[in-house]
């Protein structure tokens, strides 16, 4: 009796490869969106944690530290950590105490420039969101009505907080800035049309 060894034909292998290719092509975009959702969730969680830290500063009330007053301070805790106010900031709606949040310590530093560098000695960044749209929507009292723009790239950014304690309705804004360069207007998601502030932010009303 003659034994015939059976196996896949070339045509069958090509069909299997085609099916696998189609499945991969369908699943990759879905996987990318799910991964992006997790990145965006990371960013939103950091914004909320920074908001809680800013709220503590607000209720304690000891956050008004003018930059010029701290130039000669030698204690790093007193010199670098906390919020600062620009003396040129005037008017109840523009006056604000601001700082950069550091998730490694849970502290707020007076400026982005004072954030300790990363392990490679470079400017510290910790945003995760990319231009892939994960569909995250977080309503807020900002100009656009949203705290986060899911189609923006946050990978070079850090979280900032501003306390508007003298505004007609006191509030706290939490937003993102590009930390690869030290300029004032590099807000992720754009600049507001009426003030030198972020177009998108997580806004809280503590009172």
Say if 4 falls within a structural domain.
no
176 within some domain: yes
Answer yes or no: is pLDDT of 69 > 70.
no
Does residue 2 lie within any of the structural domains?
Answer: no
Q: Region 151-155: what's the mean pLDDT?
A: 96
Q: Residue 64 has what pLDDT?
A: 62
The rounded mean pLDDT for the chain is: 84
Instruction: With respect to residue 5, please indicate whether it lies within any of the assigned structural domains.
Output: no
Which pLDDT belongs to residue 129? 95
Q: Are strands 65-66 and 84-85 parallel, antiparallel or unpaired?
A: parallel
- Check whether 3 has a pLDDT greater than 80: no
Q: Is residue 198 part of a domain?
A: yes
Q: Is residue 119 part of a domain?
A: yes
| pLDDT score of 67 more than 80 | no
pTM: 0.82
Number of domains forming the structure of the chain: 1
Q: Is residue 1 part of a domain?
A: no
Instruction: Establish if 3 belongs to a structural domain.
Output: no
Residue bearing the bigger pLDDT, 193 or 86: 193
Residue 116 belongs to domain spanning = 10-204
């Amino acid at each position: 009796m003659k034994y015939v060894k059976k196996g896949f034909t070339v045509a069958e292998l090509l069909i299997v490869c085609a099916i696998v290719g189609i499945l991969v092509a369908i699943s990759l975009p879905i996987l990318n969106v799910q991964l992006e959702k997790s990145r965006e969730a990371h960013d939103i969680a950091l914004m909320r944690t920074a908001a809680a830290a800013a709220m503590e500063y607000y209720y304690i009330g000891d956050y008004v530290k003018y930059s010029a007053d701290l130039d000669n301070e030698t204690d790093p805790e007193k010199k670098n950590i906390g919020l600062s106010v620009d003396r040129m900031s005037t008017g109840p709606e523009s006056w604000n105490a601001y700082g950069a949040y550091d998730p490694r310590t849970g502290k707020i530093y007076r400026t982005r420039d004072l954030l300790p560098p990363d392990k490679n000695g470079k400017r510290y960044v910790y945003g995760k969101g990319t231009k892939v749209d994960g569909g995250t929507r977080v309503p807020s009292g900002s100009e656009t009505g949203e705290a986060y723009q899911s189609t923006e790239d946050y990978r070079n950014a850090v979280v900032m907080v501003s306390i508007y304690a003298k505004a007609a309705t006191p509030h706290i804004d939490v937003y993102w800035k590009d930390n690869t360069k030290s300029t004032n207007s590099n807000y992720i998601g754009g600049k507001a049309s009426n003030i030198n502030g972020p177009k998108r932010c997580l806004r809280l009303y503590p009172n």
